[in-house]
Amino acid sequence: MEIPIIPGRGLVTNTATNLRLDFLTQQNIKINEISQSKLEFHDIRGNIESYIGSTEIPLGIVGPLLFNDNGTQELVYAPAGTLEGALVASMNRGAKVISKSNGFSAEVKWQKMTRAPMFIFTNEEEASIFKQFVINTFQAIKKVAESHSNHATLIQIENIQQEHIIHTKFTYETGDASGQNMTTTCTWHAMLHLVEAFFKETNIKPVDFVIEGNGACDKKVSRYNMESGRGIHVVAECTLSEEIIQKVLRTTSEKLLQFFYPSKKLAEKDGMIGYNINVANAIAAIFVATGQDLASIHESSVGQLHLSKKENGLHVQLTLPNVVIGTVGGGTSLPRQAQALEIMKCRGSGKVMRFAKLIAGFALGLEISTYAAIVSGEFAKAHEKLGRNKPVSWLLLSELTPNFVQSSLNGFFEDKQIQDIQPKTHALLENGILTNIASKVNKKIIGFLPFQIAYTTKNGQQKIKDVLIKSKPLDDEVMKGLHTIAASIDPKLSDLLKRFKPQLEYHNCHLKEIEIYTYLHKNGFECMPKYFGKHVNLKREIFMLIQEFLPAEKMQLMNAENHPTHWKKPHISSVIKAMTQFHQEVSVKDFTHIEAFQPWNAAELYTKMMQLLIAECATAENRFALKNLLNEIDNLETQANEISIAKTIIHNDCNPRNIAIRKNGTPAIYDWELAVVDFPQRDIVEFLSFVLPENFNKATFYEYLKEHFELYNGATWHEWLQASQYSLKVYIITRLSFYEVSSILIAYDFSKRVLQTALQMLKFLEEDV
């Protein structure tokens, strides 16, 4: 069989690379994605051979982490490269815990790099003479070795005799480079000198010798290196306060210690080298980002975690005895890797000790976060499978063809001939909160997909229309995402979410929006994006809408949830009028999947949410009001039954995240997936909580309530205020508590402001009801 030769071997040039790519194409090997690389040939010539392209690993940012060094405190950050979901989030939680406990400190014990040549002699006597000669001539050997590097310092040679074999462990300090290549060169020249000098002195030559007899355990784990040193030996430590352990990690120091010592004892029995939880994750993530030798991850990830109880909390120490890193040389010179080192202020000469300390600090944070997650139950909850895992043929982007739109997403395109469909990009288009949450649990196509469709009308006119295809996640997927987030906040919260799923507004969210859009389009409701069609395939879990694309530049207001001052009275009034039209025109009996919202049926969940809100997110000025609301959860059913106003279908997510104002002043209301049956006031008070300006007064608030009231007949003003008061309570307890508690992990810019506004609205109502 003829073995082909890949052209241009060893050459990293444009011509050689194109020859290789052509060769692979001829072999029917697809490289179209890999070959699309932004790396420059002149940057990588010393780092790769037979170059064909690159793969990308996404980077996340970890920090800030409070670093105590030489009597100063500094907030530091690290880029982390990974394809493992939740790793960066866990590293960030660890950084938060350490920072809130007055930071970490670190100390470098030593930096060493070894090479271990092997010399074979005829007999033991010759070997013994050689061993003594190495000891006697150390200074001469050192001079030769160091003459071949500007950075290497030979600090010792250890001689190990095994019968007629001598292993010589050359140990160096290597400055800011990791030093594997440097020490290889230095040691090779020192060996040549040594063999020649030994022969001149004794007339004895070794039978043979090699540069490495594997005694250095290069890129391998050994107890010798842990104790004697290879790479940088660094120790990081912090003391976690009991308050932070309980508040952020959801456990106690006693519980952490309860499991720690038995676990460590078993690890020793099983022969584990060192003891740590998942140091390798942090090491690999930072190594990938900063251009380190990835083959050194293995030895660099050896770690010794130690916990001990202190009067003021829990002392946590992590020893990394063999961190093989550099801030110069190797991959650190590539532009992106160099910038990653700059983020850590670790690029270039004189920075390797700082680099080691920061790596140890970020690894310490991950150890704390992961171990606490295991002990608290969060680790298991976050990985719990909710519902059945079944093979599903999910929709592919490649299937979104003219035929697909023509045959499936009918509606507007029913009597038109679609010629082409092309994806669009839009920087201002972002998926909603629920879609982002659901996207954490699988890789199916969900969310907003903007397209441009070219079509022909009946009379032969060629037209183009921008559309937005919206692919809905299943309610189970939303719940899985919420469950994962909740597990990182409090494992009990995740259990309660799972238990009360049928009582929550997320139930049937993938069906409700399609049902509402179809209904509104049929009944001519104009205050929404134009509806062009739908596609539902239960077997393939496809729940898709196609609607008008709303470009922000053609709207008066869009995505204005953080800008209440942009909302003028005409805008606010138009939304109140549009929502009232919706509330009055829809009929509850016309909907299959939209159910009454009765928060008392999930009282335990909302009690837990409010407790977390009060304990961790409340300010001094709103804590008292929130405690009063917590005490009212058990009375919500009674209060609802005392209200004579009829319930209707409500949007239940009626805020400027889901409302745009067109140039002509007409609202476009979208994202109806949380719709439920409740009092119409619920939509209005939510909307007002976002758009009322800071320091609004009672008169302004009541002006809008009155405007809403006057659009109805049959209720008294007192009843209207009573329903508004009840709706505000439900809104704060069930929705704003969710935003605020989620901010422990994912902060929403609007959350605290909107909560404060809602509480002020409630205070005004309590004066009159």
Q: Are strands 542-548 and 531-537 parallel, antiparallel or unpaired?
A: antiparallel
Handedness of CA 526, 527, 530, 535 (dihedral sign): negative
Highest mean pLDDT of the ranges 34-38, 127-131, 181-185, 472-476: 127-131
Q: With contact defined as beta carbons under 8 Å apart, do 694 and 727 qualify?
A: no
Nearest CA among 237, 223, 211 for reference residue 306: 237
Q: Which of 244-253, 561-570, 676-685 has the lowest mean pLDDT?
A: 244-253
What is the pLDDT, as a whole number, of residue 46? 80
Residue 367 CA to residue 767 CA, distance in Å, equals 51
pLDDT at residue 70 greater than cutoff 60: yes
Residue 223 CA to residue 216 CA, distance in Å, equals 11
Range list of H helices, 318-450: 335-343, 352-376, 378-382, 402-407, 433-438
**CATH T-level topology, domain 59-111+221-376:** 3.90.770
Nearest CA among 142, 85, 149, 424 for reference residue 285: 85
Question: Across residues 707-712, what is the average pLDDT?
Answer: 96
Residue 63 CA to residue 336 CA, distance in Å, equals 19
What is the pLDDT, as a whole number, of residue 255? 93
Share of the chain above pLDDT 70, in %: 97
What crossing angle do the helices spanning 681-691 and 569-585 adopt, rounded to 10°? Answer: 160
Q: With contact defined as beta carbons under 8 Å apart, do 738 and 758 qualify?
A: no
- Strand ranges (DSSP E) for 49-136? 59-69, 72-81, 104-115, 118-120
Q: Where in the chain is the domain with CATH 3.30.70.420?
A: 117-210
Residue 760 CA to residue 769 CA, distance in Å, equals 15
pLDDT at residue 676 greater than cutoff 70: yes
Q: Average pLDDT, whole number, for the chain?
A: 91
Handedness of CA 93, 99, 103, 109 (dihedral sign): positive
Q: Where in the chain is the domain with CATH 3.90.1200.10?
A: 557-769
What is the pLDDT, as a whole number, of residue 99? 97
Residues 6 or more apart whose CB falls under 8 angstroms from that of 326 comprise: 174, 176, 177, 178, 179, 292, 332, 352
706: exposed, middle or buried (Cβ count in 10 Å: 0-12, 13-18, 19+): exposed
What is the pLDDT, as a whole number, of residue 267? 85
Other C-beta atoms within 10 Å of 500: how many?
A: 17
pLDDT tens per residue across span 400-417 = 888 888 887 767 888 888
Residue 618 CA to residue 615 CA, distance in Å, equals 7
pLDDT at residue 426 greater than cutoff 70: no
Instruction: Using alpha carbons, list the distances in angstroms from residue 263 to 21, 122, 276, 468.
Output: 51, 49, 10, 53
Nearest CA among 677, 766, 672 for reference residue 726: 766
Architecture in CATH for domain 557-769:
Alpha-Beta Complex (3.90)
Question: Across residues 163-190, what is the average pLDDT?
Answer: 93
Q: With contact defined as beta carbons under 8 Å apart, do 364 and 98 qualify?
A: yes
pLDDT at residue 388 greater than cutoff 60: no
pLDDT tens per residue across span 177-187 = 888 889 999 99
Element (DSSP H or E) covering residue 166: strand 165-173
Banded model confidence at residue 441, pLDDT cuts 50, 70, 90: low
Residue 739 CA to residue 620 CA, distance in Å, equals 18
Banded model confidence at residue 673, pLDDT cuts 50, 70, 90: very high
Q: Where in the chain is the domain with CATH 3.90.770.10?
A: 59-111+221-376
pLDDT tens per residue across span 308-325 = 998 888 999 999 999 999
Q: With contact defined as beta carbons under 8 Å apart, do 307 and 316 qualify?
A: yes
Q: Which of 47-56, 575-584, 590-599, 743-752 has the lowest mean pLDDT?
A: 743-752
Handedness of CA 29, 33, 36, 41 (dihedral sign): negative
pLDDT at residue 18 greater than cutoff 80: yes
Nearest CA among 304, 318, 325 for reference residue 223: 304
Q: With contact defined as beta carbons under 8 Å apart, do 61 and 79 qualify?
A: yes
What is the pLDDT, as a whole number, of residue 390? 60
571 backbone dihedrals φ, ψ, rounded to 5°:
-65, -50
Residue 504 CA to residue 737 CA, distance in Å, equals 14
Q: With contact defined as beta carbons under 8 Å apart, do 44 and 16 qualify?
A: no
Question: Across residues 498-518, what is the average pLDDT?
Answer: 94
Q: With contact defined as beta carbons under 8 Å apart, do 99 and 64 qualify?
A: yes
Residues labelled as active-site residues: 84, 293, 383
User: What residues does 159 pair with on adjacent strands?
Assistant: 168
Instruction: Using alpha carbons, list the distances in angstroms from residue 174 to 182, 294, 455.
Output: 8, 19, 67
Give me 112's structure tokens: 């060493």
Q: Which region, left, alpha or beta, applies to residue 377 given φ > 0 means left and ψ of -120 to 50 means alpha?
A: left
- Amino acid making up residue 27: Q
- DSSP secondary-structure letter at 471? E
Question: Across residues 759-767, what is the average pLDDT?
Answer: 96
Question: Across residues 379-395, what is the average pLDDT?
Answer: 69
Q: With contact defined as beta carbons under 8 Å apart, do 373 and 390 qualify?
A: no
CATH number of 117-210: 3.30.70.420
Element (DSSP H or E) covering residue 709: helix 698-709
Residues 6 or more apart whose CB falls under 8 angstroms from that of 741 comprise: 489, 493, 609, 612, 613, 616, 617
pLDDT tens per residue across span 279-309 = 999 999 999 999 999 999 989 999 999 999 9
- Amino acid making up residue 531: Y
What is the pLDDT, as a whole number, of residue 603? 97
Element (DSSP H or E) covering residue 484: helix 475-489
Geometric angle at alpha carbon 623, from 621 and 628, rounded to 5°: 125
Give me 31's structure tokens: 């490289």
Give me 764's structure tokens: 């005004």
